[in-house]
Amino acid sequence: MKVLKYSMLTLLGMGLASGQVSAQWTGPKQKPAERKEVKYGPITPKNRTDANMEAFRNYGLGQFIHWGLYAIPGNEWEGVSARKGAAASEWIRTWSGPNAPKNWKETYDNLYKQFDPKSFDAKAWAKQAKDMGAKYMIFTTKHHDGFALWPTQYSDYDIMASPYKKDIVKEVVDAYTAEGIDVYLYFSVLEWNNPDYLTKAPVTAEEKAKYNKFLQYTKNQLMELLTNYPQIKGFWFDGTWDQSWVQSYDFTYNLEKELREKHPGLIIGSRFRNDEFGKRHFDSNGDILGDYEQGWERKLPQAYEWLDGNDWDAVMTIPPNGWGYMKDWSGLYTKTTDDLLDMLMQSVSLNGNFVLNFGPDGQGKMHPGEDKIAKELGAWMKVNGEAVHGARHADLPVSKLGYYTEKGNTLYLSVFNRPVNNIARIAVPKKSNRVPVSAQILGNKAQLKVVHSDIGLDLDKNTYYDVIIPKGYKSHRAFVIKMELGEPRKATDNLMDAKM
């Protein structure tokens, strides 16, 4: 099979080296001084209000599952680690350098002959996700190696060529849907071993004919997925950074329209396509392309303003990188439950969803480290899930103690930094008519004392409500203060302005 070399262009496309893409994820969006005509801009309005999109923005927590042939090696082969030879575990097919096994690509491309996951139980996966508090799940139908986990009529390189011979995508979609978890299908456009795939834009007549054949193949598979699995809520596209796809903006624009026509309410993220000027995720006017920002991958926005009001989700690995199964986690910092809870609440406090990745092994078993995290997250969500599911950004001065989320007249403060004086001071604009009037800690029935502390700072736009955390209250993990908001009991004193 033809092997593609990874050019700088590809890395540029991935945003690994281009200022344009990374600038969108390291601060507020840069919008052009003047708008210009963009023919291949957004197809759907920003912040759709239909039921599917309303459900999306209220998920809070999701699960990503990367599973495929790369799970068999688990980022190593015959005792040799691929850590220094491949960019990530699910990129192990690109393993190169002195410790890469001899004829590795050929070995990898024959792994399908041994893919027969005896421990695979989609219902057990779905139950684990349900207990963890996940409300949606993104599943890899086909990653960059091109191997399809569903029986596709458009390729022989699919699950029916393996000893397993059953429709894995259907098993996953059915099991998660039965648990009430919405399913989104991950689909890689990029296919390393497809002879019709090109990284660069086609130039010659032969290249154009070949790549057009690839585009039609891509469209056929996507339509097939919508036909086979009508329960799904959306697509999570990947591998759309190469110039071949970027220059196909007329095709991708019309393909997005056709997918939406075939599946009303379909949700598509901003990574699917670009405008005619090559602007990905956001068009040349800074308008989002797709229904939600899909660039928060292993990174999080640091302020509400960075989002420009767009819907978004952040996808996160437990190890530093590596989405597919990694047998050996030793020597790596793997995120703790507390790290992940902090990221979850940061995301929800900024109106985003947090999606945690799991990479099952070649037999279909989750990594023991993932099982532990899922259990601990689930225990926390069982007590505190109401501060996540359906909760949104609270328009309040940022707290030093943790993250605010809000639901109607209920305000939640997820405390990650417990104040040494046990006073959780809530800053509220003086003009606000919604202030904390009662408080309790989720999972604890006791009503907490709430004291209005008008500390009288000059030029201060805020007043303060102190929620007293009982000295005897112990917690080994973040806890959530739930407050009911109501009219302030007394007006804030008018103090003389300081004379300076």
Which residues lie near ligand FHN (CB under 6 A)? 14, 88, 90-91, 238, 297, 315, 323
**Nearer to ligand FHN among residue 91 and residue 479 (C-beta):** 91
| Beta carbons within 8 Å of 174's beta carbon, 6+ residues apart | 122, 231
Name, in order, each residue with C-beta under 8 angstroms of 309's C-beta and a sequence gap of 6 or more: 46, 47
- Judged by CB, which is closer to ligand FHN: 238, or 256? 238
Q: Which helix (H) or strand (E) holds 441?
A: strand 435-441
Helix boundaries (H) for 350-404: 368-384
- Choose between 65 and 415: whose C-beta lies nearer to ligand FHN: 65
Which residue number, 90 or 182, has a Cβ lying nearer to ligand FHN?
90
How many residues are given for the chain? 500
Buried b (16+ CB within 10 A) or exposed e, 239-267: bbbbbbbbbbbebbbebbeebbeebeebb
DSSP designation for 103: T
Cβ nearer to ligand FHN, comparing 16 with 495 = 16
Question: Which of 249/323 has CB closer to ligand FHN?
Answer: 323
Beta bridge partners of 412: 405, 482
Instruction: Give dist(CA 357, CA 370) in Å, integer.
Output: 9
Shortest Å, Cβ 104 to ligand FHN = 18
Alpha-carbon gap, residue 367 to 370, rounded angstroms: 5
Which CB sits closer to ligand FHN, 323 or 380? Answer: 323
Q: How far is the CB of 13 from ligand FHN (least distance, A)?
A: 10
In angstroms, the CA 69 to CA 158 distance is 11
Residue type present at position 400: K
Rounded distance between C-alpha atoms, residue 23 and residue 20, angstroms: 5
Question: Which residue in 19, 57, 7 sits closest to 267, CA to CA?
Answer: 57
Minimum distance of ligand FHN from residue 296's CB (angstroms)? 11
* Of residues 67 and 323, the one with the C-beta less far from ligand FHN: 323
Place of tokens 């690839």: 214
**How big is the chain by its Cα radius of gyration, in Å?**
25
Nearest CB to ligand FHN, comparing residues 14 and 478 = 14
Taking the least distance from each CB to ligand FHN, the nearer of 56 and 323 is 323
Q: Which residue lies nearer to ligand FHN by CB, 93 or 233?
A: 93
| Rounded-to-integer distance, Cα 144 and Cα 208, Å | 21
Name the residue nearer to ligand FHN (CB basis): 130 or 142: 142
Q: At 220, which helix (H) or strand (E)?
A: helix 205-228
Token pair belonging to 219: 């469209």
Tokens representing residue 8 in the block: 């700088």
* Neighbouring-strand partners of residue 266: none
Beta carbon of residue 121, minimum distance to ligand FHN (angstroms, whole number): 23
Q: What one-character-per-residue DSSP string does 234-289 give?
A: EEEEE---SHHHHTTHHHHHHHHHHHHHHSTT-EEBTTS-B-TT--BSB-TTS-BS
Tokens of 392: 């949104």
How far is the CA of 153 from the CAs of 114, 144, 189, 214, 217, in angstroms? 21, 18, 17, 14, 10
The residues, any chain, with a CB within 8 Å of residue 451's CB and separated by 6 or more, are 465, 466, 468
